[in-house]
Structure 1
């Protein structure tokens, strides 16, 4: 198994991040959503490699096959982990692709480290610019939404994740596009995550303001969002990211739920590969 060690430590011990690395060519880093792992990219990796790119997908700390420390789930630390992946693998001219929570890593990384090693970026169903409702972000979600997530997880994490999966894919509308077995597979991946990481990341993706980070983007950026996303609504996320990122292309997937990586994989893959080759 492939691991890199982060510079950040937990009680004097460095954190190991698991990654998979396939193909040759320009590197594309895929950053998964909450509460999944690199395995969520199953239907994208082959297309990216076959298109002539090197595809690297890694597990965020606390998820998948990476170490599961008690702390370190804020976006500054997560962006530092991404920087360690790029540095450890000696990458340049990278295309960073973030899904949902993973879009926050892309945003904070560029805001904090710049784009010296980044050639393009992509945000898919991503949480930036700012999910929380505040006086200067009146269209955001009430904090009670995120507190409700945490309360339900503390009560019955596995039950919450099953219901979340239904909403993730708008399963009642898209049951012809994915099986119950695939949905159950993703539920099992989510259940394997650290309970502490699952909780802490809710505050990270729900309460972190990425608006200034997005203003730092100076590379071509793809923003993809489904117009039927019930987890990260397009009006508070994709549309506003498009407005804040100077050199961006905005693609709306009609009828796409949050988990369009599966339900609308053919359309998404065509959009993503076209952007990579552009």
Structure 2
């Protein structure tokens, strides 16, 4: 399906019926990555209409010539929300998708029933991020040496250096991550290289105060891409937030502990339902 906006033609996919939940992927990814992580969860939780858009310039969504910055990406997303989603919906974002989700929640506050931020990017500027050093939790030098050169390069630093974990990571990389990267348009990489274009022109930390719907923030203690400390810094802006900092989690989570995400989502959805019954 497609949605035409002033700044982009947004291609999206829907699964299931019921209450709408909008799921936003990370930068240079596409909807296939979110589908890979979430459909196995929502397939056993009926009553949810899952909406997976490709961000402009990623996947099958086309960035128009007028799209130059993250502000423009947000404008396109807000236009998409206004055209495709009903009055109230639930919102989830991963990595840079969480950065965008925070802004969508701020701009469409009355329409958001709940917010999920998974391994969230808090600051678009790399220099502002508080990052932990890499540390393998399960180290196996012999196994790492046994990997061929391509796998060693493509897999990068392995948090858990076991054959099973490496195989799971390789499967996700080959199935959805690499195809998404290859489908990314040059405009997305150009924006990523320019901090002034990659970040919003406004202070997101200021405008997101105070979002009072049930929120779930999941950070990885071993996340060397966006870290976890920055996510803690915005907690006061979300008084109904559950904050989780997972020991066995890097930026690719939930690969390390896949059974935790369904449990956390169940609690989050239950809190949303309770809040709406009380309202």
RMSD over aligned CA atoms reads 2.6
User: How far did 1:191 drift?
Assistant: 1.8
Aligned to 1:220: 214
The CA distance in 2 between the partners of 1:196 and 1:74, in whole Å, is: 9
The CA distance in 2 between the partners of 1:176 and 1:29, in whole Å, is: 31
Q: When the two structures are superposed, what TM-score results if normalisation uses the length of structure 2?
A: 0.77
Q: When the two structures are superposed, what TM-score results if normalisation uses the length of structure 1?
A: 0.77
Aligned to 2:61: 66
Deviations 1:214-250 (A, max 9, x none): 31423221101111101111112x2112243222110
Contact 2:169 / 2:255 at 8 angstroms: preserved in 1? no
More deviation, 89-98/172-181: 172-181
Counterpart of 1:265 in 2: which secondary structure?
Answer: coil
What is the aligned counterpart of 2:77 among 67, 82, 91?
A: 82
When the two structures are aligned, how many residues end up with a matched partner? 243
Distance 1:242 1:174, change over 3 A: farther
Distance 1:181 1:73, change over 3 A: farther
- After the TM superposition, which residues 1-278 of structure 1 pair with which residues of structure 2 at under 5 Å, given as runs? 2-8=1-7, 15-41=8-34, 42-52=36-46, 53-70=48-65, 72-111=67-106, 113-129=107-123, 131-133=125-127, 140=130, 166=156, 170=158, 173=161, 176-177=164-165, 178-185=168-175, 186-202=177-193, 203=195, 207-208=199-200, 209-236=203-230, 238-278=231-271
Counterpart of 1:263 in 2: which secondary structure?
Answer: coil
User: Could you list the runs of 5+ residues in structure 2 that have no partner in the other structure?
Assistant: 132-151, 272-279
Counterpart of 2:218 in 1: which secondary structure?
Answer: strand
Counterpart of 2:12 in 1: which secondary structure?
Answer: strand
User: How far did 1:24 drift?
Assistant: 1.5
Structure 1 runs (4+) deviating above 6 angstroms are none
